[in-house]
Amino acid sequence: MTDTMQPKQNKTGISRRSLLKTGAAAVGFAAGSGVITGFPTIWAQSNITLRQFGTGVSNLNAIADKCKADLGITLEMTATDSDAAAQRAVTQPDSYDIADIEYWICKKVFPTGVLQPMDVSKLKYYDELVPLFKTGKLTPDSVIAQGTAPHTVGYVEAQDSKTFAKAPTNWFTMVPTIYNADTLGIRPDLVGRDITTWADIMDPAFKGKTAILNIPSIGIMDAAMIMEAMGNIKYADKGNMTKDEIDKTIDFLIKAKQGGQFRAFWKSFDESVNLMASGEVVIQSMWSPAVAAVRSKGIPCRFQPLKEGYRSWGGGLGLAAHLKGAELDAAYEYINWYTSGWVGGYLNRQGYYSANMVSAKKFMTEDEWGYWIEGKPAKGEIKAPDGTVMEKAGAVRDGGSFEERMGKVACWNSVMDEDRYMVKRWNEFIAA
Amino acid sequence: MTVALERPTIAASPTGRRRRFSLGAVTPYLQSAPLALILGAFLLLPIIMIVVVSFWDYDFAAMYPDFLTTNYSDVLGSWVTWKTYLNTIKFAAIVWALTLFIGFWVAYFLAFHIRTTAMQMVLFLVCTVPFLTSNIIRMISWIPVLGRNGLINSTLVHMGLVPKPIEWLLYSEFAVVLAMVHLYTLFMVTPIFNTLMRIDRSLVEAARDAGASGWQVLWNVIIPLAKPGMAIGTIFVVTLVMADFSTVQVMSGGQSASVALMMKNQMSLLQYPAAAANAVVLLVLVLLMVAGILRIVDIRREL
Amino acid sequence: MSHEKRTLEFYVLAAFFALFVLFLYGPLSAILILSFQGETGGLTFPLNGVSLHWFANLFERQSVGDFGGSFKRSLVLGLMVMIVTVVVSLLAGLAFRRKFRGATALFYLAVASLVVPSIIISLGIGVVFQQVGLRPAWYTSAFGAHLTWTLPFGVLIMFAVFNRFSPAYEEAARDLGATSWQTFVHVVLPMIAPSLIGVGLFGFTLSYDEFARTLMTSGTFNTLPLEIYGMTTNVTTPVLYALGTVTTVFSFLVILATLGAILYVGRRRARA
């Protein structure tokens, strides 16, 4: 939040941390000279600690455990909801070293100066990262999706710059880690017909049995997908609507709400699972792992690909502005480790996508890779990272392969230039 | 009150008189200093900060120190604000009436019909136990209770009382009010119970001896004496409901608005000056409401 | 003790009270039942079998979040808040027995502290800490935020207590030659002890369950309510209900133990 709210170099935490820094720097220097390949567990002796926060989606204890084992870096993870994550990023920059946030909110968080851009040349796996995060294109001939596509907020002009660069530079705002394409989740046993388009959520047959997201900037995207699918409007950019488009979209939502079309609006992962599992809702905007969670309870649920395509989101790790010296080195080390494959495999096996597919593949079995990424029928049982069986042999992932899914992204979660007006109207929608 | 009574004691010990007296004059300041300091640091300062920020300018990415009134004209000039405030006040009024009714009778039962102190304490604690279970967990558990396939609906359907599940039990204004009454009744019971316990029983006896009916005793003796407790309970409940966002959001399924929720939506997109202006308006309104209550019942004197 | 006959009023009110208790425990019953959910079951009905799986799971490492750490923080914070609330409101209560400059202002400040919406306090404290350059943490900023919530309760209760407190006892003690400290410890304190316990319990409960005030003040680590909320951003399991059941049972035990202790002390005192 501009000058006044920039992180002050903290004076309080000096004693412990600076001691650690000197210690770690010495060790780092000693070890750095000799080790070239693999991940040196040099941090083990320095007891270096990195504090990371973000939503429970990716702030998994398993990652912290593995990081400790591989690098010796203690990762203190704090899970919050997505609203709180944004607040914490901006208002308490001293409280974290690594911010795990989504790209759409990065558009607002990064310019406040709480994060420092990272030097691409220090990122070991930069070249292997999916081009989606560099150019916005999955393959050279794909069309860039609407909205706050990660690459548009992925780079800044220079190390001390807060302006996003139009093309890739040497300064990365965040290293992409996790992303996915969302669509409608349905209860095939209760909808009783084929669902092919976002517009189906407005079918009077499902009156009082539908839900969309309740995070304003994402909920309006759901609405935009529906509006366009119904042929009500053609947006120039769904992710950056004009006032007039916002008005039309919100008016539409208000009408649908007053008509009793929605049962509820969900805000957290868990809410969406409960809504579906309890039968409160039969068709709703949903995440792939949430669908898997419903299914793992023995309740039929499908992640339904739709002809208009997906609404996509991506998250990444950002470095806190206050990091320097040995801690900064440790943070780079951690990020390089993060993209080196183990985490990628772990995230892929949960139904999300890793930003480094090349390395993730090495940490997945052929069958897992086939099922999760290539869209092939499972040869054996597909297990979740914790060992529970998610799918039986022969199952095919809804929506198909990685390319089929991420290649059909219609828009990314966004913050609009008119976000002030949007929130105003969104509050109106909730009040209506 | 006590001051007047203490003076003679001090005068009675002439030796320590001067020292005691000066110490006595400083004592209340020392005693109230911790409270004043804590409230100053964690209440006044933050509120001043909020008020300052509410005049700032902001754009897409940043806020700028300034003195603008646009945040206020935005807040006050939009019908959404008014509608949301009306909705919140409506919730406050309904919840207040319900909790006052339930709270009074529960407290009355505990104070006048339970004869041993131990039993009173046990029953009172029985009422408090549910509050130790995290509110968020309790909130999640409303779905399996009130939902389509929840305990209540499946019981009703099973008994053949309703042909199909009742939809409005959950994700409705009814659900919001129900959850709030559930959460906040205790805040009404406690102060009323407290005042009822301190009513001199001989007053009740005297009224009865004078030929007053049970109803008359209740209406003319007990209720007037219970007013301070009701006033405090009212302050608790009204302010809690006015500032609530999680209950409204979860129980209405995100379909009902409240002032705090409106602020949260602004904060979620880091529009702090707008949220701050909203906060100041809410604060002023709540303070006015409380001042009104305090005008009717002077809790300082009657407590 | 009076032995008048139970009136109709008693039975009507007893029924009303029973209904109220039933209403309070309604959602808890769902928590209780669903905490025995089978291993593959979810947070809602139907039950997928019956098991103790989730109780065991409560003590295992979760995929997201950390029950142990956040519980410890909430417990310590609750105790800190409890102690400070009791001491500060007792002192303030004593102070308000006499007239002093600013008494009215302080009283209304305490009332204001009660009525300021919690999300505003949370935002304000978070921003102030950032501006001053202090690092927010659950034991500093969140601690202060909780106090703004528990102190007014404590002060109001102490206010009520001392308003009705007859100074005659103190005078008697003083006449017998007790110093003011002795008077306080041996006369005043025992008489207001039940209220102090009440203030303490209130303080602990309010702090332990506080969410909005902690939201923007907790710093790096979460308290239990925040942690639970954070956990709902991933797959949550009936382990939450197991936590609810265990908390409820545990609070019952604590309350029973306290009651037992009070009765025991009371009986011994009566005998002495």
Q: Which residues, including other chains, have CB under 8 Å from residue B194's CB and lie 6 or more apart?
A: B229, C157, C160
Our CA-based measurement puts residue A336 at a distance from the nearest CA of chain C, in whole angstroms, of 22
| C-alpha span between B92 and B287 (Å, rounded) | 14
Q: Which chains touch B (3 or more CB pairs under 8 A)?
A: A, C
Q: Report the candidate in A87, A73, A83, A93 with the shortest Cα–Cα distance to residue A9.
A: A93
Q: Are strands A409-412 and A389-391 parallel, antiparallel or unpaired?
A: unpaired
Chain A residues whose beta carbon lies within 8 Å of the beta carbon of residue C136? 92, 94-95
Name which of B147, B254, B269 is nearest A423 (Cβ-Cβ).
B269
Establish if A257 belongs to a structural domain.
Answer: yes
Contact A278 B65 (CB under 8 A): no
Q: Percent of chain B at pLDDT above 90?
A: 21
User: What pLDDT shows up at residue C21?
Assistant: 93
Q: What is the rounded distance in angstroms from the CA atom of residue B106 to the CA atom of residue A288?
A: 48
Contact state of A51 with C61 under an 8 Å Cβ cutoff? no
SS3 B59: coil
Do A334 and A71 contact (CB within 8 A), yes or no? yes
Report the alpha-carbon distance of residue B294 to residue B288 in Å, rounded: 10
- Interface mutation vs chain B, best among A281, A284, A423, A426, most B CBs within 10 Å: A423
Q: Which of A294, A307, A305, A310 is nearest to A399 (CA)?
A: A305
Tell whether A385 is covered by a domain: no
Given this model, what pLDDT does residue A154 score? Answer: 93
Are A213 and A292 found together in one domain?
Answer: yes
**In terms of domains, do A23 and A165 share one?**
yes
Cis preceding linkage at B65, omega within 30: no
Give Cα B242 to chain centroid, integer Å. Answer: 9
Comparing CA positions, the residue from A373, A403, A414, A352 lying closest to residue A141 is A403
| Separation between Cα atoms, residue B104 and residue A143, nearest integer Å | 66
Its sign, for the CA torsion C222, C227, C229, C232, is positive
Q: Do C42 and A94 touch (CB under 8 A)?
A: no
Based on the domain organization, do A204 and A289 belong to the same domain?
A: yes
Give C1-17 pLDDT, tens digit per residue. 444 567 788 899 999 99
Q: Give residue A156's identity as a one-letter amino acid code.
A: V
3-class secondary structure, C87: helix
Burial of C70 (0-12, 13-18, 19+ CB in 10 A): buried
**Which residue, among A411, A197, A213, A214, has the nearest Cα to A313 in the 3D structure?**
A411
Query: Which of B107-111, B141-145, C140-144, C159-163 is the least confident region?
Result: C159-163
Both A145 and A215 in a single domain?
Answer: no
Q: Are residues A206 and A166 in the same domain?
A: no
Same domain, A229 and A206: yes
Q: Considering only A15-29, A285-299, B50-64, which range has the smallest mean pLDDT? A: A15-29
Q: What is the 3-state secondary structure (H, E, C) of chain A?
A: CCHHHCCCCCCCCHHHHHHHHHHHHHHHHHHHHHCCCCCCCHHHHHCCEEEEEEECCCCEHHHHHHHHHHHCCEEEEEEECHHHHHHHHHHCHHHCCEEEEEHHHHHHHHHHCCEECEEHHHCCCHHHCCHHHCCCCCCCCCCCCEECCHHHHCEECCCCCCCECCCCCCEECCEEEEEEEEEEEECHHHHCCCCCCHHHHHCHHHCCCEEEECCHHHHHHHHHHHHHHCCCCCCCCCCCCCHHHHHHHHHHHHHHHHCCCEEEEECCHHHHHHHHHCCCCCEEEECHHHHHHHHCCCCCCEEECCCCCEEEEEEEEEEECCCCHHHHHHHHHHHHHHCCCHHHHHHHCCCCEECCHHHHHCCCCHHHHHHHHCCCCCCCCEECCCCCEEECCCCCCCCCCHHHHHCCEEEECCCCCCHHHHHHHHHHHHHC
Q: Which of residues 18-47 of C touch B (CB under 8 A)?
A: 20-21, 23-31, 34, 43-46
In this predicted model, what pLDDT tens digit does every residue of A307-332 receive, in sequence order?
999 999 999 999 999 999 889 999 99
* Contact (CB, 8 A) for A428 and A410: no
What pLDDT is recorded for position C170? 83
E strand or H helix at B127: helix B117-128
With a cut of 50, say whether residue B18 has pLDDT above it. Answer: no
CA-based nearest residue in chain C for residue B229: C160
Contact (CB<8Å) B138/C31 = yes
Partner residue facing C124 (CB), from B50, B130, B294: B50
Query: Which of B50, B137, B143 is closest, CB to CB, to C240?
Result: B137
Note whether B114 contacts C: Cβ–Cβ < 8 A: no
In degrees, rounded to 5, the angle at the alpha carbon of residue A37 between the alpha carbons of residues A32 and A40 is: 50
Integer Cα distance of B222 and B120 in angstroms = 19
Closest of B251, B237, B289, B277 to residue B101, by C-alpha: B237
**Same domain, yes or no: A163 and A47:** yes
Q: How far is A66 from chain C (nearest CA, A)?
A: 13
Q: What is the mean pLDDT of residues B204-221?
A: 87
Instruction: Give Cβ neighbours of residue A3 (< 8 Å, ≥ 6 apart).
Output: none
Q: Same domain for A166 and A195?
A: no
- This prediction has a pTM of 0.84
Q: What is the pLDDT of residue C77?
A: 95
> B269 vs A5: CB contact, 8 Å cut-off?
no
Instruction: Tell the burial category of C59 from Cβ atoms under 10 Å away from its Cβ (0-12, 13-18, 19+).
Output: exposed
Pairwise CB contact (< 8 Å): B253 & A211: yes
What does the mean pLDDT of chain A come to? Answer: 86
The answer to whether the CB atoms of A298 and C235 lie below 8 A apart is no
Is pLDDT at A167 greater than 50 in this prediction?
yes
Nearest CB to C225; choose among B28, B118, B134: B134
Ordered structural domains, chain B, with CATH: 78-302 (1.10.3720.10)
Q: Are C123 and B125 in contact (CB < 8 Å)? A: no
Q: Which two tokens stand for residue A134?
A: 């560099």
What pLDDT does A258 receive?
92
Mean pLDDT value across residues A179-193: 92
Position A6 scores a pLDDT of 41
Dihedral sign from CA coordinates of C176, C179, C182, C188: positive
The three-point CA angle C193-C198-C201 to 5° equals: 125
C219–A91 C-beta distance less than 8 A: no
> Do residues A44 and C190 lie in contact, with contact meaning Cβ atoms separated by under 8 Å?
no
Both tokens assigned to A305: 């690909």
Pairing verdict, β A302-304 and A175-186: antiparallel
**Under a CB-based contact definition with an 8 Å cutoff, are residues A173 and A165 in contact?**
no
Nearest to C159 by CA among C100, C97, C220, C208: C97
- Confidence at residue A4, expressed as pLDDT on a 0 to 100 scale: 43
CA-CA distance, B73 to B273, in Å (whole number)? Answer: 12
Q: What average pLDDT score do residues C36-46 get?
A: 82
**Residue among C98, C261, A408 nearest B25 (CA):** C98
Q: Which residues of B touch A112 (CB under 8 A)?
A: 61-62, 270
Q: What CA–CA distance (Å, rounded) separates B119 from C264? A: 15
Q: Which of C115, C144, C236 is the closest to B286 by Cβ?
A: C115
Compute the distance between CA of residue C234 and CA of residue A58 in angstroms, rounded to an integer.
Answer: 9
Q: Given an 8 Å threshold on Cβ–Cβ distance, is A4 in contact with B61?
A: no
pLDDT in tens, B231-274: 889 988 998 898 888 889 889 988 888 888 888 888 888 888 88
In a domain, A351, yes or no: no
Cβ–Cβ below 8 Å for C43 and A59: no
In the prediction, which pLDDT does A215 show? 87
Instruction: Give the separation between CA A50 and CA C247, rounded to whole angstroms.
Output: 32
Cβ A223 vs Cβ A252: under 8 Å: yes
pLDDT at C201 (0 to 100)? 83
Task: Pick the residue of B9, B20, B35 with the most C CBs within 10 A to test the interface with C by mutation.
Answer: B35
What is the SS3 assignment for C50?
strand
Q: What pLDDT is attached to residue A39?
A: 54
Alpha carbon distance B27, B146 (integer Å): 55
| Average pLDDT value for residue range A43-61 | 82
Is residue C144 exposed (0-12), middle (13-18) or buried (19+ Cβ within 10 Å)? buried
Q: Select from C40, C63, C123 the Cβ nearest to the Cβ of A62.
A: C63
Specify whether A43 is located in the same domain as A165: yes
What are all long-range contacts of A152-155, with beta carbons under 8 Å and residues at least 24 apart?
A152/A107, A153/A103, A153/A106, A153/A107, A153/A110, A154/A103, A155/A117
Residue ranges making up the domain that contains A297 = 181-309+409-431
Tell whether A211 lies on the interface with B, counting CB pairs under 8 A: yes
SS (H, E, C) C213-263: HHHCCCECCCCHHHHHHHHCCCCCCCHHHHHHHHHHHHHHHHHHHHHHHHH
Q: Which CATH architecture has domain C64-234?
A: Orthogonal Bundle (1.10)
pLDDT of residue B302: 62
Beta bridge partners of A213: A266
Question: Which residues in chain B are closer than 8 Å to A421, comparing Cβ atoms?
Answer: none
Residues in chain A with CB shorter than 8 Å from the CB of B144 are 278
CA distances from A8 to A151, B244, C140 (A): 29, 33, 18
Q: Are A69 and A44 in contact (CB under 8 A)?
A: no
Q: Do A81 and A210 lie in a common domain?
A: no
With a cut of 50, say whether residue A19 has pLDDT above it: no
Q: Which residues of C touch B21 (CB under 8 A)?
A: none
Q: Per the CB < 8 Å rule, is C62 touching A277? A: no
What per-residue confidence (pLDDT) applies to A117? 94
- A278 and B264 within 8 Å at the Cβ level: the answer is no
pLDDT at A23 over 80: no
pLDDT at B68: 84
Contact A134, A154 (CB under 8 A): yes
Give the residue on C whose Cα is nearest the Cα of A51. C220
Q: Are residues A158 and A40 in the same domain?
A: yes
Output A248 or A267, whichever has higher pLDDT.
Answer: A248
Amino acid at B260: A
Q: What does the pLDDT read at residue C231?
A: 85
What's the rounded mean pLDDT across residues A112-136? 92
Q: How far is B27 from chain A (nearest CA, A)?
A: 34
Strand partners, A310: A409
The model's pLDDT over C105-162, given as tens digits with 9 standing for 90+, comes to 898 888 888 878 888 888 889 888 888 888 889 999 999 999 999 999 888 888 878 8
Cα-to-chain-centroid distance, residue A31: 34
Q: How close does chain B come to A199, measured CA to CA in Å? A: 21
**Among candidate residues A301, A322, A339, the one where a domain is terminated:** A339
Tell me: pLDDT of B117 over 90: no
Percent of chain A exceeding pLDDT 70 equals 89
What is the per-residue pLDDT for C5? 61
Distances (CA, A) of C34 to A273, B143, C228: 16, 12, 17
A405, A352 Cβ separation under 8 angstroms: no
CA dist C48 and C36 (Å) reads 9
A305 and A327, same structural domain?
no
Average pLDDT over residues A101-130: 92
pLDDT at B301: 67
- Residue that the structure tokens 């023995």 belong to: A298
Cβ of B268 within 8 Å of Cβ of A5? The answer is no
Residues of chain C positioned with their CB less than 8 A from the CB of A93: 130
Instruction: Evaluate whether residue A123 is within a structural domain.
Output: yes
Best to test chain B binding among C6, C98, C108 (most B CBs inside 10 Å): C98
- Specify the range with the lowest mean pLDDT, choosing from A17-26, A166-175, A181-190, B44-53: A17-26
In single-letter form, the type of residue at position C52 comes to L
Please count the structural domains in chain A.
2
Q: What is the mean pLDDT of residues B200-225?
A: 87
Burial C156-176 (b: 16+ CB within 10 A, else e): bbbbbbbbebebeebbebbee
CB within 8 Å: C42 and A297: yes
What pLDDT does A126 receive?
Answer: 94
- Type of residue found at A24: A
Identify the CATH number of the domain in which residue A77 sits.
3.40.190.10
> Are A278 and C44 an interchain contact pair (Cβ–Cβ within 8 Å)?
yes
